[in-house]
Structure 1
Amino acid sequence: MISTSDTSTMKQPRDFPFGGVVGVGVDPLYRWLSENEPVSRIRLKYGEDAWLVTRHADVQTVLRSPSFSRAMAAGRDVPRGTAEDFSTGMVSMDPPDHTRLRSLVSAPFTRSSVAQLSNRVAEIAEELVDRIADGNEPFDVAEMFSIPLTLTLICEVLGVPYEDRAQFRRWAEDGMADDADEDAAMKLWQYHNDLLVRRREDPADDLLSFIATEGHAQGIDDVELAMLAMTVLVAGYLSAGTQLPTMIYVLLTRPELRQQLLDRPEIMPTAVDELIRWIPLEVHGAPPRYAAEDVELSGTLVRAGDALIASTTAANRDPRVFTNPEEIDLTRQHNPHLGFGAGAHYCLGAQLAKAELEIGLRSLLGRFPDLRLAVPEEEVGWKHNYLTRGVQKLPVTWK
């Protein structure tokens, strides 16, 4: 018999997310819950109540185990931060359906492919720092470096015209806001659908053409294929494009860390992993899963059909796994962070994102070793009412 807490006497759900979502601070309630109430009830702005899971081991279980399903969210009032539920397409599937779609877009993101793409990342980064060096200072790291770097690359891989960037960026970012614009999301989907139709008629050497032809040959309808292409585009530039300026902010506001990287550039890979671990990116936790059966997590019985949200932010600060988790250790060796998720939905572009972050930091700090904030720290622009946390505007100077 399972010995667990009685879910019939559950406490009143806490409003989620906790604390502010501006800056890089993590509300201390996450740590308290991890120690005292690792599986707790929460209520988001929209949808049904859910369990919040905060310990690293439990978060791993929720993300990896087939006992927890994304597909079961279909038809449910999913706990979420937006009025509309945009967790559709590949991210809403379980294997084998998820595996089938993921295989269509996996080739450019394998380790060997990323090794080749890294040369192109370095070329784009050097072009951008050359342009910045020749221009007027100060400059905005987000708009003049990180977004152009990640967006140029994913456009080239996918086959989306870079000159359309202002249009599809507006749709993508309006669709990612807390007050998400359903019309913007539909326009972004239609844009990709039109591109897929054109690529099927006139294929090119890009991922869109492969999706259009191979996906069609496998009997996958255009609704799913356009959603897949849209997911790759948005995920391909937005996460790394947000993480990079936030990492620069952390390094510039902690000069000893910046100097450590300048003195020891060989530690860049472990430094990037550590910054991914330490910097909170999610706002509302990982996309909700549903328990397919009764499961015990840290002494709490989660009933079949219950919704759960796994907090990778809390898991990445779990002292059971990370020594001195609140500190940034750029040489941390044991670092099983969950910044890219885990299990079947582990971030497809994780290797590419790490390459972009490593090369981006190396290029900026290498060219501008005296880089510093061009505005007081309190005037740095942060994302508000958004599904991801991070720097929106980061004015810097180097002279």
Structure 2
Amino acid sequence: MTQAEPVTFSTVRENYFDPPAWTQEVREKEPITRMRFADGHLGWLVTGYSAARAVLSDPRFSARGELKHQPVPRAATMERTPAAPPGMFIQHDDPEHQRYRKLLTGQFTVRRMRLLTEWIEKTTHEHLDAMEALGSPADLFEHFALPLPSLVICELLGVPYADREQFQRDTAIWSSFGRSTEEVTGAWASLGAYLHRLVLLKRAEPADDILSGLVAADPTLTDEELTSIAFLLLVAGHETTANQIGLGLLALFENPAQLAALRADRSLVDGAVEELLRYLSIVHHGPTRAALEDAEIEGTAVKAGEVVMVSLAAANRDPRKFADPERLDITRAATGHLAFGHGIHQCLGQQLSRIELRVGLNALLDRFPGLRPAVPAREIPLRHDMQVYGVYELPVAW
């Protein structure tokens, strides 16, 4: 098969909610196509749904960081990912990955999720009280979408919420495209030092949180391992959910018939959450994997050493899986979407994220039946320059 000119990945989306148009054009031709990575490495881009599942579930494709190449430019000296430190389990293969994941799964108990759900409901209403007191209009992202997941992850890890400005700032710098090497490495070091101090605190003064639970469950875990685990949970636990809430509300505002249906029948909320996850797929460039040996994906030969990037956003719009995928439809059976990934590295905190989204959406519609955007959608700044897509602000009125 003759391959077309390799594509170069861009995070710019022409439409607020759709993947970049070129990824959909590529998918219509082939589910996997040649791609040139930021450092010139010639690898592959997966845009088809079944091809994405195949790569993410195949042990011949490694998640190890030192084998990967960056799909888009970051800091000048960071096109290649260094070997992951101990505990950075999303960049480990089994059996190391399984060891950490099993320990963490044991911390997401039914009891903890029940207590967290009650706590999330209470905290949600407190933040809506505060936003209502500010008066209309208000920035829903600043006063609700961002603080709610930040509070949840602080509660889960035992992080003082008063420290949120530091970790939000460091996370934003570390997650940005186009920052200098000094800025990115400085943010990494700052966040790592903060979390290391937290680990030492949990060893000395254990409490009812995940870090303390991990220390108790496996006393052999080192400070470095615990710091890496805390880093992953902190970064993934607030950035993604905050932007899913913000962009999800904007998508409903821009689809008034869907919003009206949800307001009229609140039993649709679970389906609405799944459909918004599928429809938006807010991670710009999805997981990357390195082929450990020659493999064939959907008829395409991938050579050992080549890196494959999966576009979750494009795969979730594959018409071979979802009928009329460009349309937001909260009555659709969107289960099976890849917003949380697939395979052994599928997002560990996905159920917690679903709880936050469901509780937040229900509470917003209950409290503000007339909630609406305060400015035209085209005036809302979008996060094209961040690893996680979403909004920088969301002015609303009621």
- TM-score with structure 1 length normalisation? 0.91
Q: CA deviation at 1:391?
A: 1.1
Question: 1:205-259: per-residue Cα shift (whole Å, max 9, x none)?
Answer: 21122234544x23x3322220110110111111011100111101112211111
2:106 is equivalent to residue 107 of structure 1 = yes
SS of residue matched to 1:284: coil
Which residue of 49, 58, 67 corresponds with 1:56?
49
Paired amino acid for 1:187: S
Residue 165 of structure 1 corresponds to 164
Which residue of 16, 24, 30 corresponds with 1:23?
16
Question: 1:75-120: per-residue Cα shift (whole Å, max 9, x none)?
Answer: 5555444233378421110111011112232234356643442111
SS of residue matched to 1:42: strand
Change (3 A) 1:174 1:47: farther
Residue 300 of structure 1 corresponds to 300
Query: Could you tell me how far apart the structure 1 residues matched to 2:223 and 2:191 are?
Result: 14
Equivalences for residues 235-250 of structure 1 within 5 A: 235-250=236-251
Q: CA deviation at 1:19?
A: 4.5
Which residue of 40, 61, 66 corresponds with 1:68?
61
Equivalences for residues 1-399 of structure 1 within 5 A: 5=1, 10-17=3-10, 19-20=12-13, 23-46=16-39, 48-71=41-64, 73-74=65-66, 77-83=69-75, 84=78, 85=81, 88=84, 89-109=88-108, 113-180=112-179, 181-215=184-218, 217-218=219-220, 220-286=221-287, 288-333=288-333, 335-398=335-398
Query: Could you tell me how far apart the structure 2 residues matched to 1:27 and 1:127 are?
Result: 37
SS of residue matched to 2:127: helix
Query: Could you tell me how far apart the structure 2 residues matched to 1:174 and 1:334 are?
Result: 33
Change (3 A) 1:213 1:80: farther
Assess if the C-alpha contact under 8 Å between 1:274 and 1:332 holds in 2.
Answer: yes
Assess if the C-alpha contact under 8 Å between 2:9 and 2:72 holds in 1.
Answer: no
Query: Could you tell me how far apart the structure 2 residues matched to 1:126 and 1:86 are?
Result: 42
Measured on the aligned residues, the alpha-carbon RMSD in Å equals 2.0
Assess if the C-alpha contact under 8 Å between 1:107 and 1:113 holds in 2.
Answer: no
Change (3 A) 1:264 1:46: farther
SS of residue matched to 2:392: strand
SS of residue matched to 1:74: helix
Query: Could you tell me how far apart the structure 2 residues matched to 1:87 and 1:278 are?
Result: 33
Assess if the C-alpha contact under 8 Å between 1:277 and 1:316 holds in 2.
Answer: yes
* Equivalent pairs, count: 387
Change (3 A) 1:96 1:290: same
Query: Could you tell me how far apart the structure 2 residues matched to 1:109 and 1:48 are?
Result: 39
Q: CA deviation at 1:199?
A: 1.4
Paired amino acid for 1:67: R
Assess if the C-alpha contact under 8 Å between 1:189 and 1:226 holds in 2.
Answer: yes
Query: Could you tell me how far apart the structure 1 residues matched to 2:107 and 2:25 are?
Result: 41
Assess if the C-alpha contact under 8 Å between 1:193 and 1:223 holds in 2.
Answer: yes
SS of residue matched to 1:156: helix
Residue ranges of structure 1 left out of the alignment (5+ in a row): none
Percent of matched pairs sharing the same residue: 35
Question: 1:326-355: per-residue Cα shift (whole Å, max 9, x none)?
Answer: 111101125310000011111011001011
Change (3 A) 1:146 1:107: farther
Residue ranges of structure 2 left out of the alignment (5+ in a row): none
Query: Could you tell me how far apart the structure 1 residues matched to 2:101 and 2:137 are?
Result: 41
Change (3 A) 1:110 1:81: farther
Q: CA deviation at 1:151?
A: 0.9
Q: CA deviation at 1:23?
A: 2.2
Assess if the C-alpha contact under 8 Å between 1:44 and 1:80 holds in 2.
Answer: yes
Q: CA deviation at 1:167?
A: 1.0
Question: 1:120-159: per-residue Cα shift (whole Å, max 9, x none)?
Answer: 1111111111111222221111110011111111101110
Query: Could you tell me how far apart the structure 1 residues matched to 2:189 and 2:120 are?
Result: 30
SS of residue matched to 1:341: coil
Change (3 A) 1:124 1:10: same
Between 27-36 and 151-160, the greater mean CA deviation after superposition:
27-36
Assess if the C-alpha contact under 8 Å between 1:171 and 1:185 holds in 2.
Answer: yes
